[in-house]
Chains A and B, each alone.
Chain A
């Protein structure tokens, strides 16, 4: 699904405007991290340090996207400031609180909450400006809704991930299969959003 999204994004990059770079960056990073994580797991190497780094990069790319989408409503300095604070907390968490070989539940949960907040801000902006006539044709609606569904659905998993792992590994695998379903929904919405951008 990510490959489809990347292909679509590159195919008609001009119609995505300024949001092309954060979207492409987000997709390419996700693709590379997924491949590397799969390779490490296949070779029985703990891939959690990768997730610690990915959480930071993913948030920066998403914040870049939301900074563009929310321009005119949320000052860019606020989004940048929040990003700096988040990166600081995530790094501190990886160094002092949660071992890099364990799931970074704190950073991931905080990231989820922040992204949900930005998504709600975008909805508010759309309602306030009323520039979009047909939501179903607006790329921003699909992409933001994809992020909103993913981070809302997976938030509980981010919180409980370590606890489940120590309870039962089979349940842990089932939980992450559930996550894969939500992630599929996530990238499907992004793909529709990019596709809609090509139609405009």
Chain B
């Protein structure tokens, strides 16, 4: 009887120790499997992130290439054409029509100067360095107003208090330019609002149009609208770019940290 009791105690002890050991083993195995699973998920996420980055780089390259093609076309069609016309004019000047030919030549030269200025302004907004971001955005809005097809309203300060930063300011300017291009090309809008705000730590920009808008679920499929390029520019600034969809049109919020 006594020996049976002792055997029971030993059995309890042995089974208990083995049980605890097995439990510890199960915990360690669970931990190992869970860690592996989390690693796989992390890897998947980083792959998606790198794929996204790759798409942004490709989009950037395409944008640069498109810009080069546009400049080449402008130079060829406008400036090249003007010089050809000028050459013809000069070779056909007659003494009896000297005065009127000179006037015509001056007109062609003026047209050439204007073309060069426009191409140069497209490459680098002229007022950005001199007058700052706020004035340049206002100017951009006024230029688009001048066409009469779209009413573009600028709301914001005349100048920003934070120190100018050409890279940041140019990127914000380009984002607004791209948004305006999208509105003109695709949105069928009649009104656009560009609102600039400044806080001690951020510059925030709100862009609204009253066009047809687009389905946010199809955002990934319409990267051709230059949206990837906008995101890429925002990423370079460490900024947040948010899209909201009011009942009509599109609303974009850009928050750029002041460094």
Contact = CB atoms under 8 A, between A and B. Distances in A.
Interface stretch (A4-12, A55-63, A84-92, A148-156): A148-156
Interface string B13-37: 1101110110111011001101100
Nearest to A149: B24
B4 to A, nearest CB: 12
A167 interface: yes
Interface in B8-59: 9-10, 13-14, 16-18, 20-21, 23-25, 27-28, 31-32, 34-35, 38-39, 42
Nearest to A132: B35
B215 interface: no
Contact of A149 (B9, B16, B25, B31): B25
A153 B13 contact: no
Contacts of A126: 31, 35
Contact of B17 (A132, A135, A178): A178
Contacts of B32: 135
Contacts of B14: 178
A153 B20 contact: yes
A84 B121 CA distance: 73
B2 to A, nearest CB: 9
B13 A164 contact: yes
B31 A127 contact: yes
A174 B13 CA distance: 11
Contact of A182 (B6, B21, B28): B21
Nearest to B16: A156
Interface in A78-129: 120, 123, 126-127
Interface residues of A, number: 27
B20 A127 contact: no
Contacts of A145: 28
A171 B21 contact: no
B6 A123 contact: no
Interface in A148-200: 148-149, 152-157, 160, 163-164, 167-168, 171, 174-175, 178, 182
A36 B31 CA distance: 38
A133 interface: yes
A151 to B, nearest CB: 9
Interface residues of B, number: 23
A156 B66 CA distance: 75
Given A153-B20, A167-B6, A130 B13 contact: no
Contacts of A163: 9
**What DSSP secondary structure best describes chain B's contact surface?**
helix
Given A153-B24, A178-B17, A133 B9 contact: no
**What DSSP secondary structure best describes chain A's contact surface?**
helix
A169 to B, nearest CB: 11
Interface in B221-239: none
Contacts of A174: 10
A160 B13 contact: yes
B254 to A, nearest CB: 32
B13 A135 contact: no
B35 A182 contact: no
A199 B10 CA distance: 42
B21 A135 contact: no
Contacts of A148: 24, 27-28
Contacts of B17: 153-154, 156-157, 178, 182
A164 B9 contact: yes
A153 B32 CA distance: 19
Interface of A: 120, 123, 126-127, 130, 132-133, 135, 145, 148-149, 152-157, 160, 163-164, 167-168, 171, 174-175, 178, 182
The 9 closest A-B pairs by CB, nearest first: A152-B24, A153-B21, A156-B16, A152-B20, A168-B6, A123-B31, A171-B10, A156-B17, A149-B24
Given A127-B31, A127-B35, A171-B6, 13 more contacts: A133-B39, A135-B32, A135-B35, A149-B21, A153-B17, A154-B17, A156-B13, A156-B17, A160-B9, A168-B9, A171-B9, A171-B10, A171-B13
Interface of B: 5-6, 9-10, 13-14, 16-18, 20-21, 23-25, 27-28, 31-32, 34-35, 38-39, 42
7 contacts: A123-B27, A127-B31, A127-B35, A156-B13, A156-B16, A178-B17, A182-B21
